[in-house]
Amino acid sequence: MDDIRLLLVDDEEEFIKALAERLNMRDLYGQTAFSGQQALDFVQQHEPHVMILDLKMPGIDGMEVLRRVRKKNPSVQVIIHTAYGNDLEEAEAWRLGIFDYLRKPVDIDLLVDRIRAAYKSTD
Amino acid sequence: MVAGGSLDSINRPRSWTSDGVCLPFPWIGAKAKAKHKFFNMKMYAATIEKDVLEPRSRNAYYFRQKVLIILLMTMVSVIPLVGISYFSFQYFKNSWIDRTSVELASLADSRKETIELFLANQNNQLNGLIDQYPAEHLSDQNNLEALFQAVNKSGVITDLDVIDQTGAHLAYVGPFSSQLAGRNYSQADWFAQTMRQGEYTSDIFTGFRGVPHIVVAAANPERTMILRETINLDLFNSLLASAEVGDGGDAFIINRNGEPQTASRLDSTATPFSPQDVSADSGTKVFTTNDYIYSATSLKNGDWVLVLKESMDTLLSEYNSARNKAGALILLAILLIATVATVLTNSIINRIRVADEQRTALNERMREVEKMALVGRLAASVSHEINNPLQIIENQAGWISELLEDEKQGRISDFNEYEDAVEKIRSHVRRAKSITHGLLGFSRVEAAEHEKTDVNQLIAETISFLENKAADNRISITTDLQENLPSIRTDPAQLQQVFLNIVTNAIDAIGHDGSITVGTRTIPGGRMVAEFSDTGHGLPEDIRKKIYEPFFSTKKGENAGLGLSISRNIVQRLGGDIESSNNAQGGSIFQVFLPVEPGSI
Amino acid sequence: MEEPTVLVVDDEEDFVQTLLKRLRRIGVDCDGAYNGIEALDKVSERDFDVVLLDMKLVKEDGNDVLREIKLLRPETEVVILTGHASASAGREGLEHGAFDYLIKPVEFETLHEKLREAGRSRFDTADGRAPEKCKPNS
């Protein structure tokens, strides 16, 4: 499954880099973006299959990124990965259209599972 | 009271103590509540600590328990078994010996009778001869020979002798005529005794051809003649030989001094008792030693003792074989008991161990859960309290901002700085507010926005969000939605949030392989209910009451545990309520009750 | 519409003082009270359009004060200020006759608007009471 185009978005650089490494060990290679703007730029240019998206980010926050990506690049499967367990946001995210909504800390194997499942669901 | 985890009361400053004391500050109440909880937890933790054993010593502990119980069980079964068997066998053995003693004694008696009768017979015979025939007649050799033939039909008499008062032979019939010719018995003891007492019976001696003989003599009343006969005691031998004393048994006669009178089968006439113990008056006595059982009775007025001897081994051979068989069976039984005890104990202790371990694990989990809930409550109470100073800060900052508006820009240097600074204060107050409100689950400050909502559709949409995830975990979601369910006036976004929360919880409760059923229907009283039933792990009694507490979560780590408390808040604000229970399959049922506006379609 | 007359009831002096200043600056005729007793005194002396009542009072139970005010002046609208916003807190307040509730910390603009709303409602409805809010089923 090496050809999954994966984008990891989170404003905590250390965290997301570590996550990328752990995913590498499991044969998943993802690009990293540290802000909403970076994420949007990347999606514009490279259109990944799956995007792991954090919600709480300065500037353009995750929800806004989600909105725009759903509008412009609806084929991208978005998995929200956030520390804040706000059900209201979750409901809104679902309504916008996501593949899954995971709360930090998430089990790495579960995450890998969901990424692969998300990739599979892209036609 | 905040710390109590119930967001229901509006800052009612009461402590959790039942005396209803109105404490001045809610915070103090919170501390009291927290302390109360801590106290309980400490006690609780102390109990748990005792149950927890180090892994190494835990093994030893259970092993010890097993060994102890097995030993106990085995002993309790075996000791009575062995004890009873032992005593039974002892009793049996003793009564067997007793019985044999009696038989032996009566055997001795019967033999004694025969012998005494025989001896008496011979005596009588002699006396009869003396009575019947005058001395002159008897002294005649030919007469004697004729008489001898007549009385000796049985061949018991070896010879017959007539002796006069001087001790000289008058007549003799027998094989020793040549040896005895010319002999004179006047000096012999038996002669003197016969002359004195009128009769005499000798001891047994080995006579002619090695066969035991005795001599019986009788004198006539005038003491002028003695009739003497030698009797061969083959009879005795046969009598003794025929005595049923079994293998290893013996029968013999000894005299007062213990000198053997007859041959012994076993070549031993030793007795554990002294012949003098047995007298004519004492009757037949029985003596037992470890090896033999003896019955002894006196003969010839106490001169002789007839001893019948039976070997214990022979006697007890049957008993011994029975005992040995029983012993073997008992050993087998012991083995069986020990085996069963071991297997049973093993199984039971293992089960106990598993239960102990499960309980310890459960206790630990409960502690964790309680800890988290406690932390949650503290966090909630802190957040709560912060709202007050935040309000004041906001107020003050706003005031400054308004005052600045009135000032002319030029009059204050750094005017812009003040403005910016104040704005930043207000912005960060907003930020702080969102943190605390987010923590406390206040998703909307304003009242909910109500619109006409099709609940069935809302549910269907919610399910569609989680379809994927459910399918991946082999969880089926089925719906049973009332067809003509009326639309209700409510906040769809918030309601969907609630449904999402409940279904997500259901999926988590199931884990893998299960099903969730969602149903809607109107119920009397102007209400409707949306029912969510799952085949998950269900809600144990003690947890059921706590699930609506903020920060309560049975899932380790993830999810602050606010979901259900917020959901219930939302539903209650929408005019309804949430109830939970367990279903027949052990899973949970969540029912969301909502008001239906009268007259709506 | 002109500004309603307002009584601010809160045990935090700082808050009351500054709030009164801000309200007066924009032309609101207002007064303050620092506890329930004082509030009831002032309400009985003067017919305020709106009372802003903080539920967290040191000496008294906010609900009790609310009830008393409504008994004294049934037409006066009460806006309650609370740290809680759980359903039953809101419900309870509304049941006891509050017009609406606000959760701290609340910005001045929002507060002011709510006070005006309460004031308007007093004159909009025939009996001077607020329209029925979502009541729970009994």
**Of the candidates B381, B415, B440, which is a domain's last residue?**
B440
How many structural domains does chain C have?
1
Kindly state whether residue A81 falls inside one of the protein's structural domains: yes
Token duo for residue B59: 């093994």
B332, B457: one domain: no
Kindly state whether residue A112 falls inside one of the protein's structural domains: no
B519, B460: one domain: yes
B422, B468: one domain: no
* Beta-strand pair C77-82/C50-54: parallel
Kindly state whether residue B149 falls inside one of the protein's structural domains: yes
Amino acid at B467: E
Let me know: does B227 contact B162? Beta carbons within 8 Å: yes
Position B43 scores a pLDDT of 44
> CA A39 to CA C79: how far, in whole Å?
45
> CA A99 to CA A119: how far, in whole Å?
10
Does B393 contact C105 at a Cβ distance shorter than 8 Å?
Answer: yes
B390, B297: one domain: no
| Cβ–Cβ contact B398 with C under 8 A | yes
Does A100 contact B567 at a Cβ distance shorter than 8 Å?
Answer: no
Q: Which domain holds residue C93?
A: 6-124
User: Could you report the per-residue pLDDT of B314-325, keeping only the tens digit for each?
Assistant: 878 888 888 899
**pLDDT at residue B226 greater than cutoff 90:** no
Position B181 scores a pLDDT of 67
Full-model pTM: 0.41
Radius of gyration of chain C from its Cα atoms, rounded to whole angstroms:
14
B587, B458: one domain: yes
Kindly state whether residue C17 falls inside one of the protein's structural domains: yes
Most confident of A46-60, B161-175, C85-99: A46-60
User: Could you report the per-residue pLDDT of A59-78, keeping only the tens digit for each?
Assistant: 888 888 999 999 999 999 99
Q: Which domain holds residue B241?
A: 135-315
Measure in Å the smallest separation between the Cα of B580 and chain C Cα atoms: 18
Minimal Cβ distance to B395: which of C19, C58, C135 = C19
For residue A116, give the nearest of A104, A94, A99, A98 by alpha carbon.
A99
Position B30 scores a pLDDT of 44
B275, B192: one domain: yes
- Tell which wins on pLDDT, B11 or B112: B112
Distance, first Cα to last Cα, chain A: 15
> CA B141 to CA B173: how far, in whole Å?
8
Measure in Å the smallest separation between the Cα of B501 and chain C Cα atoms: 18
Classified as helix, coil or strand, C81 is strand
Position B412 scores a pLDDT of 77
Chain centroid, CA A32 distance in Å: 10
A-chain residues near B462 (CB < 8 A): 94
Q: What is the mean pLDDT of chain B?
A: 79
Minimal Cβ distance to A84: which of B438, B461, B462 = B438
Q: Which domain holds residue A45?
A: 6-106
B-chain residues near C21 (CB < 8 A): 399
Minimal Cβ distance to C104: which of B387, B572, B576 = B387
Lowest mean pLDDT among A36-50, B42-56, B110-124, B435-449: B42-56
- DSSP state string for B118-154: HHHHHHHHHHHHHHHS-HHHHHSHHHHHHHHHHHTTT
Minimal Cα distance from A87: which residue of B?
A: B497
Kindly state whether residue C30 falls inside one of the protein's structural domains: yes
**CATH number, domain with residue C59:** 3.40.50.2300
B-chain residues near C108 (CB < 8 A): 394-395, 398
Kindly state whether residue A63 falls inside one of the protein's structural domains: yes
Kindly state whether residue B400 falls inside one of the protein's structural domains: yes
B241, B196: one domain: yes
> CA B176 to CA B158: how far, in whole Å?
10
B-chain residues near C63 (CB < 8 A): 10, 12
B299, B230: one domain: yes
B191, B300: one domain: yes
> CA B175 to CA B291: how far, in whole Å?
44
Position B123 scores a pLDDT of 85
C-alpha pair distances (Å), B310 with each of A73, B268, B307: 117, 13, 10
Would you place residue B9 in the very low, low, confident or very high pLDDT band (cuts 50, 70, 90)?
very low
Chain centroid, CA B25 distance in Å: 61
**Of the candidates B283, B315, B347, which is a domain's last residue?**
B315
**CATH number, domain with residue A29:** 3.40.50.2300
**pLDDT at residue B105 greater than cutoff 80:** yes
Kindly state whether residue C67 falls inside one of the protein's structural domains: yes
Minimal Cβ distance to A87: which of B468, B501, B557 = B501
* Beta-strand pair B577-582/C6-9: unpaired
Position A123 scores a pLDDT of 59
Kindly state whether residue A123 falls inside one of the protein's structural domains: no
C-alpha pair distances (Å), B315 with each of B93, B94, B248, B264, C49: 10, 11, 9, 19, 125
**pLDDT at residue B223 greater than cutoff 60:** yes
Let me know: does A47 contact A72? Beta carbons within 8 Å: no
Would you place residue C20 in the very low, low, confident or very high pLDDT band (cuts 50, 70, 90)?
very high
B177, B219: one domain: yes
Token duo for residue B601: 């379609």
**Of the candidates B375, B410, B440, which is a domain's last residue?**
B440
Kindly state whether residue C136 falls inside one of the protein's structural domains: no
Kindly state whether residue A28 falls inside one of the protein's structural domains: yes
> CA B247 to CA A10: how far, in whole Å?
107
Does C137 contact B525 at a Cβ distance shorter than 8 Å?
Answer: yes
Minimal Cβ distance to A88: which of B443, B465, B560 = B443
In our burial notation (b when 16+ CB lie closer than 10 A, e otherwise), range B341-367 reads bbeebeeebeeebeebeeeeeebeebe
Does A106 contact B558 at a Cβ distance shorter than 8 Å?
Answer: yes
**CATH number, domain with residue B484:** 3.30.565.10
Mutate to test the interface with B, among C17, C103, C111, C117 (most CBs of B within 10 A): C103
Amino acid at C33: A
In our burial notation (b when 16+ CB lie closer than 10 A, e otherwise), range B57-88 reads eeeeebeeebeebbeebbeebbeeebeebeee
Position B188 scores a pLDDT of 80
- Tell which wins on pLDDT, C30 or B232: C30
**pLDDT at residue B528 greater than cutoff 90:** yes
Chains that touch B (3 or more CB pairs under 8 A): A, C
User: Could you report the per-residue pLDDT of B264-323, keeping only the tens digit for each?
Assistant: 777 777 788 888 887 777 788 888 888 888 888 888 777 888 888 888 888 788 888 888
ipTM attached to this prediction? 0.75
A-chain residues near B558 (CB < 8 A): 85, 103-106
Let me know: does B203 contact B214? Beta carbons within 8 Å: yes
> CA B533 to CA B581: how far, in whole Å?
9
Cβ atoms within 10 A of the Cβ of B41, count? 16
Minimal Cβ distance to A85: which of B443, B462, B559 = B559
Kindly state whether residue C81 falls inside one of the protein's structural domains: yes
Q: Which position has the token pair 């502990």?
A: B61
> CA B458 to CA C100: how far, in whole Å?
29
How many structural domains does chain A have?
1
The single-letter DSSP state of residue B36 is: H
CB pairs under 8 A between A and B: 49
B-chain residues near C82 (CB < 8 A): 10-11
Q: Which residues contact B510 (CB under 8 A, 6 or more apart)?
A: B473, B475, B516, B534, B535, B536, B537, B587
Kindly state whether residue B97 falls inside one of the protein's structural domains: no
> CA A10 to CA A104: how far, in whole Å?
12
How many structural domains does chain B have?
4
B209, B245: one domain: yes
* Element housing B104 (H / E): helix B55-132
> CA B36 to CA C57: how far, in whole Å?
25
Measure in Å the smallest separation between the Cα of C26 and chain B Cα atoms: 10
> CA C15 to CA C23: how far, in whole Å?
12
B279, B325: one domain: no
